[in-house]
Amino acid sequence: MAGIPGRCWQSLLTPTMRALTPAEVLFDGEAPPKLLPACDHYAGSEKLMLKSLALQQQLGPVFDITLDCEDGAQVGREAEHAELVASLLGSEHDRYGRIGVRIHDFHHPHWRDDVRLILRAAKRPPAYIALPKIRSAADAAEMVAFIEAARLEMSLPEPIPAQLLIETHGALASVFQLAALRGVEALSFGLMDFVSAHDGAIPDTAMRSPGQFDHPLVRRAKLEIAAACHAHGCVPSHNVTTEVRDMSVVANDATRARNEFGYTRMWSIHPAQIPAIVAAFAPRDEEIATAAEILLAAQHAQWGPTRHGDTLHDRASYRYYWSVLRRARATGRTVPAEAAPLFGLDDLSKEPTR
């Protein structure tokens, strides 16, 4: 590393100097962009919910679990299903507080009851609430406002983020408005419903690879969603891969979503997909090491310009390398111990929680 090694440079600070962290200096006083676990695993039945929760306890909080009250609930038994979901939030199965719920859509008569039942009965509020089949910014805003009103009515201490599913023409047309809504932390692409909404104008080959990355209308949708998210500090979440046998297909889809389309999160519908998705979104060991070296040198230089090898760096590139270290930690990768000061008081060994 150019300059003073990370293990010893802090000893040169005077008693009145404090090493400023990347989060304090690289974002002009604003919070860094939202970062969520790289995988969002959906589970609809009690059996699959419990299996997913057991896997999360084994692997750690490197993936979220979305308990599904929409497709998971039998018609006529919506309240019973919502109560089941609520019973798992804050239970002995909920070790990390990284469980969200998907409720019914805006035009379904039970969506408000989903919210009330879950928030009233759960020992811990969900990490987020996913809102499906959004058709307009007005519909989404009404749902988000209702969730916030219900939270306040029940005296829950913290706002509950919303994640919006982009599956309709109306949602795609409003995607920048949706990403800008207060309380929205992520937009997720619903590929199957989006293709179906074109009434056969898009072939079914676009529901899987390589067509899902090559068809112009689907490519446009994915790029619009990612661009809107990055413009407003939201997390773009990529659609599911239907392949459940060949994990190389899942890994390749996740890699393309990340590297070509700018997604930082992806759905999973089968437990076997989770490790492949998390690994694909994690930075490589050499990327992590380089990021740590550059940022430690920058911190020593009080975040002025530095040189690493034959390349000059300043705050613009420092933001990129900070995102590498944040992604490393979110995906369970080892971050060099000497990089701990970059995270300030946030202990690298601490398990992430809400």
The Cα–Cα gap between 49 and 84 comes to 10
pLDDT tens digits for range 40-64: 999 999 999 999 999 999 999 999 9
Residue 7: its pLDDT value, please?
A: 43
Structure tokens at 163: 């994640």
Mean pLDDT confidence for 248-264: 97
Residue 17: its pLDDT value, please?
A: 55
The runs of H, that is alpha helices, within 203-246 are: 211-214, 216-232
Structure tokens at 186: 């992520």
CB contact at 8 A, 281 and 275: no
Structure tokens at 28: 């002009």
How sure is the predictor about 76, in pLDDT bands with cuts at 50, 70 and 90? confident
pLDDT tens digits for range 185-241: 999 999 999 999 999 999 999 999 999 999 999 999 999 999 999 999 999 999 999
pLDDT tens digits for range 7-25: 444 444 444 456 889 988 9
How sure is the predictor about 32, in pLDDT bands with cuts at 50, 70 and 90? confident
The Cα–Cα gap between 350 and 329 comes to 10
Identity of the residue numbered 171? A
Mean pLDDT confidence for 116-129: 97
Structure tokens at 236: 């773009």
The pTM assigned to this predicted structure is 0.89
Mean pLDDT of the chain: 91
Indicate if the pLDDT at residue 350 is higher than 70.
no
